[in-house]
Amino acid sequence: MHEMSVTMSLLDLVLGEAAKAGASKIVGVNVVLGQMTGIIDHYVQANFELLSQNTPAEGAALTFRNIPRQARCRNCAHVFQPSDLAWSCPRCQSLEIEITGGNELYVESIEVE
Amino acid sequence: MEIKVLKDILSANSQIAEQNRKLLASKRIMTINLMSSPGSGKTTLILRTVEELKSKARIAVIEGDVSSSIDAEKLNRAGIAAIQINTGGACHLDASMVNSALPNLDLDDIDILFIENVGNLICPGGFDLGESLRVVILSTPEGDDKPHKYPLLFTQANALVVNKTDLLPHVWFDLEAFTRVFKGLNQQAALFAVSGLTGDGIEEWGKWVMANLNKRRTLNPAE
């Protein structure tokens, strides 16, 4: 839902980085996206195409590395990916779990010319 | 040519949030970012909290809504300093909106600032506003399965307020099972069961708010 404001921040960030490097065109953007953020990559893609028109990032290829959410059981230390339905530990059924992955939302690198 | 960036996409928001946090800390204001679905009772909880704490703390409110100033007017009518932010369609507040709103409040006359976020259990979670504490409200008619559907907000919360406990006999909400699930996901958070309608549980919640304010005051004494 909040893909538009995230995409605006993404565009500002990559335009700034490209300008710092003295690049005139951005051809690729590599984004790392965790599942916990709830952000859907193809919406970001569609927004980016729209927002980047007439900027050095127009036509840049966005590549997403999607990171699934990951949890660790505080009872038996089992590491697992919680399903959409149940977040108990699949090994010992404990509810004492800690989210250890999937919060990522960053630009890893950009490809410029 | 590839350029390594390794920067958080929302880093611009985080920078402004830090400015807000510094400004609010310099005024010794404790800020609570209040998040929930629409209609779960954010404004009512604020009204109840002001009533409960009016002899102990000066409370002001920033109201975030997509449109209208109904909530700010409701609070103003109750004698509470409240200003409205209209996001104009955005589904959450961000740090710059709060930054623009702060000059409209008398920061020297506030102990606790509530920021009532746009009603939404997803989007507000990604945006730091510069708050001291994050509080999530869940009302019983929404169902007890929400922490797993919207995990980000629930895992980040410093406190969770289960509201509308007066409706418990009529809705599918198993408070005991919910407490186990929520405490499993978020061990640090305080959990309160209240009724905005009857005022039940508000006293305990108010004590938690005051304990946090006093803790901050001790850590950051007046110059």
Q: Which residue of A has its CA nearest to B147?
A: A87
Hey, is the C-beta of A32 within 8 angstroms of any chain B C-beta?
no
Give the per-residue SS3 of B112-140. EEEEECCCCCCHHHHCCCCCCEEEEEEEH
User: Which band of pLDDT confidence, cut at 50, 70 and 90, is reported for residue B148?
Assistant: confident
Give the closest-approach CA distance of A48 to chain B in angstroms: 13
Hey, is the C-beta of A12 within 8 angstroms of any chain B C-beta?
yes
pLDDT, residue A70, reads 94
- Tokens 């708010």 -> residue: B209
pLDDT, residue B212, reads 98
Per-residue CA distances from B192 to B13, B56, B108, B209 (Å): 30, 20, 30, 11
Checking if the pLDDT of B223 tops 80, the result is: no
First to last CA, chain A: 32
Tell me what the mean pLDDT of segment B60-81 comes to.
Answer: 93
pTM of the prediction? 0.93
**pLDDT tens digits, one per residue of B191-216:** 999 999 999 999 999 999 999 999 99
Percent of chain A with pLDDT over 70: 98
**pLDDT tens digits, one per residue of A6-48:** 999 999 999 999 999 999 999 999 999 999 998 999 999 999 9
Checking if the pLDDT of B82 tops 80, the result is: yes
Tell me what the mean pLDDT of segment B48-55 comes to.
Answer: 97
Give the per-residue SS3 of B203-222. HHHHHHHHHHHHHHHHHCCC
pLDDT, residue B92, reads 94
CB atoms within 10 A of CB B36: 26
Interface contacts A/B by beta carbons within 8 Å: 110
Contact: B4, A109; criterion CB under 8 Å: yes
Distance CA B106, CA A60 (A): 46
Taking alpha carbons only, the member of B14, B92, B149 closest to residue A36 is B149
Give me the residues of A, 77-106, that contact B with CB < 8 A: 82, 84-88, 94-97, 99, 103, 105-106
Tell me what the mean pLDDT of segment B31-37 comes to.
Answer: 97
Quickly list DSSP for A47-102: HHHHHTTTSTTTTPEEEEEEE--EEEETTT--EE---SS--S-TTT--S-EEEEE-
Q: Are A61 and A92 in contact (CB under 8 A)?
A: no
Checking if the pLDDT of B69 tops 80, the result is: yes
Contact: A2, B185; criterion CB under 8 Å: no
Tell me what the mean pLDDT of segment A70-87 comes to.
Answer: 89
User: Which residues in chain A touch residue B127, judged by CB atoms under 8 angstroms apart?
Assistant: 2, 5
Sheet holding A79-80, edge to edge: A79-80, A70-73, A97-101
Q: From the candidates A3, A8, A9, A70, which should be mutated to test the interface with B, based on the most B CB atoms within 10 A?
A: A9
Tell me what the mean pLDDT of segment B67-88 comes to.
Answer: 92
Contact: A95, B126; criterion CB under 8 Å: no
